[in-house]
Chain A
Amino acid sequence: MADFDRELDASGLNCPLPILRAKKTLADMESGQVLHIIATDPGSVKDFEAFAKQTGNELMSSGEEGGKFTFLMKKS
């Protein structure tokens, strides 16, 4: 299990809120820091990939645990 600097629980939120909250949280972080995101919106899996591609933040991992989707994103 990788370490992270900040955590964002976006459980129960639907598109586009997980992305918008992640963007806001990343804005307060330093370059190179890692954000752990938890979401329940199945659409967020594709969306965080697309978000990473377009913003340059690195999606280090993406997984599912017990109906929840988790992501580790490193700020560019």
Chain B
Amino acid sequence: MTEKKLAIIATKGTLDWAYPPFILASTAAALGYETEIFFTFYGLQLLKKELNLQVSPLGNPGMPMPMPVPVLLQALPGMQSMMTMMMKQKMKSKGVASLEELRELCQEAEVRMVACQMTVDLFEFSTSDFIDGIEYGGAATFFEFAGDSDICLYI
């Protein structure tokens, strides 16, 4: 049986949207897929040594809230960090893995992680901001792997 391949593009840098790439990549690796994640734009935040991802209720009417909060109040200082804290507590109480743990599991399972060089330069990030063991490349690097993939996701 030839190994199946999964290619993911991770473009979002919020706490909630950081989960799908790492959950799918780690699970795919456990199922025997050869897996690559290409991180671009805000997705680069997922590669930072220190993850400090936030979740915001703003512009997200689908987020379940313990009580209804009017949009203008959601914009008040401190609301975002409060929502982030509540979300993290909720996740912990439900046995949802931390992002750090999932990312580590991905690395253990040899998920290939590629940071988009163009956006690293655009945001003036330093490679020392990022975890070890990642590669840097561009669109052509992505297609080299994705061109042979069985599943390709844009998240």
Contact = CB atoms under 8 A, between A and B. Distances in A.
Interface of A: 12-17, 19-20, 23, 40-41, 51, 54-55
Contacts of B27: 16, 19-20
A15 B26 CA distance: 11
Q: Main SS of the interface on chain B?
A: loop
Given A20-B26, A20-B105, A14 B31 contact: no
Interface in B16-33: 23, 26-27, 30-32
Interface residues of B, number: 11
Contacts of B23: 15-16
Contacts of A54: 31-32
B97 A14 contact: yes
Interface of B: 23, 26-27, 30-32, 94-97, 105
A17 B105 CA distance: 10
Contact of A17 (B31, B32, B95): B95
A19 B30 CA distance: 8
A17 B96 CA distance: 8
Contacts of A55: 30-32
B95 A13 contact: yes
Nearest to B25: A16
Contacts of A40: 95
A23 to B, nearest CB: 4
A52 B30 CA distance: 11
20 contacts: A13-B95, A13-B97, A14-B95, A14-B96, A14-B97, A16-B26, A16-B30, A16-B97, A17-B97, A20-B26, A20-B27, A20-B30, A20-B105, A23-B30, A40-B95, A41-B95, A51-B31, A54-B32, A55-B31, A55-B32
